Structure formats: C-alpha cells, structure tokens
Amino acid sequence: MITAPYNFVPLNDKIFYPPWASENILKNIHDVPFEDGESGVIELEVTAKSPIFIKDGKNPSEFCHSINENGGKEYYIPATSIKGMIRNVLEIMSFGKIRIDESKHKKYLSVRDMTYKKNSANDMTKLVGKADNCGFLIKNGDSYIIEKCADIRTICLLKNTNYEEIGKLETAKEKYKKFGLLKEINFTPYDEKSKTKTGQEITIKRAKFDKQGRKGILVFTGNIDKKRHEFVFAKDGKKIQLDKNVFEDFKKVYFDNEDSIDGQYWKEQFNKGMPVPIFYMGNDIKITAIGLTQLFKLAYKKTIFEAAKQVGDETKFDLAETIFGTVRGDKALKGRVHFSHFKSSFERFEAPKEGVFGTPNPSYYPNYLEQQPNGLYITLMSKDAKIRGYKRYPLHSGAEQLSVGNDNEKMKVKFKPLSANSVFKGKIVFHNLKKVEIGALISAITFHGRSNKFMHNIGFAKPYGYGKIDIELALQGLKYSQDEYLKEFEKQMNEFVPNWLNTEQLTELHKMASVGYKDSRLLRYQQLENEKSEYFKGKNNHQEKNEFSGAKSYNERLSPYSGMVVYSKPQKPLQSPNGRNHNNGRDNRGCKK
C-alpha cells in the first residue's frame, strides 16, 4: 500500500457563506458594530509535545528569535505561523473555500510517465510523448511550421575522437556551447537488429560518421542513464503547418518552465530566429505533440488551480475570510482578529539535527488527485481531475529518525529545534465578532472543545513528528462561557450541513489530529531506491525498487487516513494487453529532492 507522512481532508462540495456577511455590511464592519458583536482577548499557552522548530528568517538553521538588550536570544513562534495554522483548521471546519497560491499553481505541470494507463477499450491516455518523427520548429510570421526530417537516427559519439568527451556533459546546452550549434556532419545510415528483455526482435535506425556520406545535422539532448548516442537529423524538404495549440503546449513545458535548462536555452535561440530541433507525434497531415527529446514531456490539460476549483459565489466571503480578512483581486477585507508573537521563556535546544527532506510532487496523481477506489487512474489530463483536498500531516507518537542517507551535503538541512515541553505564550485580540464567529475561532483552536483528544502541529519537519503542540486558552472579558460559544457555532453548521461533526471532512481532520496514533510505518515517505520495498522480489521475478512507480504498477492510491488500518503487501501488478508487467519503464518521480 502507499504510505505517506501527509494525507488530505476532502474538499466540501458546497461553501458556507455567513448570512450576516454581505458585501455592504462588511464595508462598514470596523466602524459600525454588530448589535451582538463583542471585542475581547483570548490568551493562549502553547506547549510543545515533541521537539519543535520554527525557522528564523535571517539564519535558517536557528529557531526563530530576536536579540534582547543584553545580547540574549528570545525565542518565539511568529504570529503569522499560529494564525495560518488556526485559519486552516477554521476553513475546514466551517466548510470554506480552499486557498490556492495562484502564482504557483496556475502554471501547467508536465508529465513523462511510462506506466501503462488505459481510459477505455479504444482510448489510451498518453502520459508520455513517444516520437516517431523529427524535424525543426520554425516561426513563420504569426504561425509555426515543422521542417520535416527523413527519420530519427542515433549516432554513437564515442567512436569519434572529436566528440567522445560529450558523454561528460549533462545538458544539451553544454554540448552545443562546446561543439557548436546545429553542426552539420557527414554520415551513412544503417539498421541494427536488437532484442528487448522479453526476447522480441526490433530494428534500430543508426548512423555512423562517414566523410563520403550524406549530410545531416548533429542534434544533442541531455544525458540520462549512461546515454551513449545522440541524433542526426537529415531534412527531406517537406514542411508541415503546426497547430498553435500544439506549440502552446510545447511552450508550457519547455519555454515557460524556468527549471528546464535546455528549454530556456532553446527559447533564447528561438527568439533569435534559430530553428529548434524537435521530436514529434503525428504525421504529414497533423502533428499532435512536440518535444525536445524522443520520449518527451507532455503538458497536462488542467492546472492544480483548476483542479482545486469549488462551485461557489465569487462575490461572497466565507467565514474564514470574514474573520481573518482577505485580498481577492480588487476586493480586500480587513480582518478582525490580531495575533501576537508567542514567546518562550526557555533556552533549551535538542542536539543539532540534519536530514534530507523530499518535496512531494503534486503531479503524483495516485496521492494528490481524487481517485476511485478501483479502476483507472484520473490524472490532470482528465476533465474530471480534482485535487484530494486540504493537505495535512497526521500526528506521530514521537519524533521519528530523520532521513540522512545521502552523501550530498547540499541536500542536507541542518536545524536546531527546541525540546519538547517548551512553552510559548501569546494572545489573540479580536474586534466586533459575533457570538458564532467567536465560537468558530475557539472551535478551530480546541478542535471543538476536545483538546484532550486532538492536537495541532506546526513548523518544520512535521513529516517526522516534530512540532506537535497542545494549546490551552483563557477567555478575557467575554459575555459567555466557552461551551456556549461552541454550541452557537455547532448550531449554525448543523443548519448548513446536518450531522456536521460526523461529516467526512471533520472525520478526516480529527483522525489526523488524534492522539490515538497510528503505526509509524504508515507515515513514511515512499522511496526512489529501496531494495526492501514490498514491490521488489528479486532478479528473476517482478522487481521495482522505486516505490512511486511500483505503487502505480499495482494500481494503488493513497487511502483516506481514516481508512488506513493495516500495512499490507500489494496484489498482482497491472498488465498491458500483451501480458507484460508495466513496471519497468522510466517513470516520472513522485518526489523532488
């Protein structure tokens, strides 16, 4: 089964918009008090129940601190950290809108995934561009054409002393800078017979250097898996009109992706009027996709931002927005709650820690997108793609051992956490909140009055159990008791969605915040290389050390956290129509280091 230190609270199908929070009322909310509005203070005492680390802005390996007049360090949790933590819980509990970073998630992701997929008996869902043709991309006024080449032929550079050092260079950009851009060579084509691992005989189109041979252009691509060959493109004179949408998809993957070194290099050359060597899918009539390598990435049809959209009214504010404030396009609403920093009187450190932390990739669809319990995967190629919901880190019983198995010092993160039992004190000051809003705020802080059963977590290394905190609160100068405020909020939510406390949203939230901890094996990251993987069985049997592609071979998906009860072995892997296991292809990685 898939394991992960994170899971998701599913998105609510409908959004709760407070009936008292119309736009006209909110314009004057700071000047004209509600009849039942209250202002007051909630004092909070935060106790760390595991080692805790909040990164300092100036020194990332140090706990967040200020320097006092005596030169001593005063440690604190920033107001924004506590505020963001509580707001996130309130958004879930009040059936609000999920907040998505538009600048980050409106970008189109790309995919090169060779795991077998099938949408129906007649329709293959392509998650990799497998090119059968090649040519040159040329801008022609406001349109684009492909100048076709005869066929895709590979050439071994190790057999020519002028090019044998190219194997040491990683990117196409480096190779072109050293050996010249689109350099013409003389070659002779030939065919080479080879056999696949399953014994199937195939023909590979090759080329060899020959001073008396025909002319072609030497085309480089980046190095991967001890690559020995590059390409020779020989033009055949045909020109094919390229659909602008196909170019736009190519542009999203390569030209708009600042992390693509070769994409940025060719963008620069293309803007200078240079033709770009590309590989393509399609025929002389219609080209369906192009890329910079023979097995190239495709642009997803949907962005994470689009997959996160909920049905709602963009002219209205949800409960979290009315309390905490928001900036949405040309609309801005000032919040009515203000958090102080939460200061600690302790100066205790755990021993300095270091670890290698992976960054989960949201394109790993078995985890990040809603999937049916069985059947075919849904990816961002699908119009029905929808994100799993609010990402949360379930509580650990204790701080787990950090992953340090990497010799690359640049990959290791060093930090000095404060120890468990460190105490931080601060307060929330609020203005003109209705009784139900105060109830919502208290509910988010205390998990609806059940702090003895549930806890928050905050800060760095949550995937390993760091940052688990208990919060005690004291109400200052308010009209009602804590229970009365909670009942008012519960009443409002039950009117909106019956049996509110037992909805799937609150069930998943509570399970992940519960002090009834689950087996720590369920909370580990999948690994790229693991010989102990349950998908790895030995030389002559099904074998997959990469747990990301292994899980996809068995058609697995991340289970809701409330349903994860055992740690079981996978069933039979998926098979293609010809009976072969589809677990040995190169796969898009599910984690970026």
Coil, helix or strand for 511? Answer: helix
pLDDT per residue rounded down to tens, the chain (593 residues): 899 999 999 999 999 999 988 766 666 777 778 888 999 999 999 999 999 999 998 898 999 999 888 888 899 999 999 999 999 999 999 999 998 877 677 777 777 776 644 443 333 356 777 888 999 999 999 999 999 999 899 999 877 888 878 877 889 999 999 989 999 999 999 999 988 767 788 888 999 999 999 999 999 999 876 678 899 999 998 999 999 999 999 999 999 988 899 999 999 999 999 999 999 999 999 999 999 999 888 888 888 888 998 988 888 899 999 999 998 777 788 999 999 999 997 666 666 787 777 666 778 899 999 998 777 889 888 888 999 999 999 999 988 878 765 555 667 888 899 999 999 999 999 999 999 999 999 999 999 999 999 999 999 999 999 999 999 999 998 999 999 999 999 999 999 999 999 999 999 999 999 999 998 889 998 888 887 787 776 544 556 788 888 888 888 999 999 987 655 555 555 544 333 343 333 333 333 33
Q: What are the backbone angles phi and psi of residue 232, rounded to the nearest 5°?
A: -120, 125
Copy the structure tokens of residue 179: 């050996």
Please answer whether residues 21 and 326 qualify as being in contact, where contact means their C-beta atoms are separated by less than 8 angstroms. no
- The secondary structure of residue 52, as a DSSP letter, is B
**Cα–Cα dist 530/35, whole Å:** 63
Instruction: Give the residue from 475, 486, 489 showing the smallest Cα distance to 40.
Output: 475
H or E element at residue 102: helix 102-105
User: What per-residue string of b and e applies to 82-109 under the rule 16 or more CB within 10 Å gives b?
Assistant: bbebbbbbbbbbbbbbbbbeeeebeebb
Instruction: From 279, 269, 265, select the one nearest 233 (Cα to Cα).
Output: 279
Q: Where are the beta strands (DSSP E) in 60-183?
A: 65-67, 73-77, 110-111, 129-130, 133-140, 143-149, 153-156
Predicted TM-score of the model (pTM): 0.82
Measured CA to CA, the distance from residue 358 to residue 355 in angstroms comes to: 10
Q: State the DSSP H helix or E strand holding residue 245, giving kind and residue range, or none if neither.
A: helix 244-250
Q: Is 373 exposed, middle or buried, given 0-12, 13-18 or 19+ CB atoms closer than 10 A?
A: exposed
Tokens 């604190």 belong to: 76
CA max distance for the chain: 96
R_g of the chain, CA atoms, integer Å: 29
How far is residue 251's CA from residue 258's CA, in Å, rounded to a whole number? 11
**CA–CA gap between residue 290 and residue 133 (Å, rounded):** 10
Q: Angle at CA 9, nearest 5°, toward 361 and 556? A: 55
Side chain identity at 123, as an amino acid letter?
A: D
φ, ψ for residue 478, nearest 5 deg? -100, 165
337 phi and psi, to 5 degrees?
Answer: -125, 140
Q: Are 430 and 39 in contact (CB under 8 A)?
A: yes
Closest CA to 525 of 6, 1, 52: 6
The separation between CA 405 and the C-alpha centre of its own chain, rounded to angstroms, equals 23
Q: Pick from 548, 547, 593, 224: which is nearest to 407 by CA?
A: 593
